[in-house]
Amino acid sequence: MIFESHLLSMVVYAFLTALVLAFIRRRERKARLRYGLFVFLIMVGGALLFGWFMYLFTL
The residues binding another protein (CB under 8 A) are: 1-4, 6, 9, 12-13, 16-17, 19-21, 23-24, 27
Least separation, in Å, of the C-beta of 32 and another protein? 10
Least separation, in Å, of the C-beta of 22 and another protein? 9
Q: Which of 9, 18, 13, 12 is nearest to 40 (CA)?
A: 18
Our CB check for another protein shows the closer of 28 and 53 to be 28
Whether residue 33 contacts residue 16, with contact meaning beta carbons closer than 8 Å, is answered with no
3 state SS of 51: helix
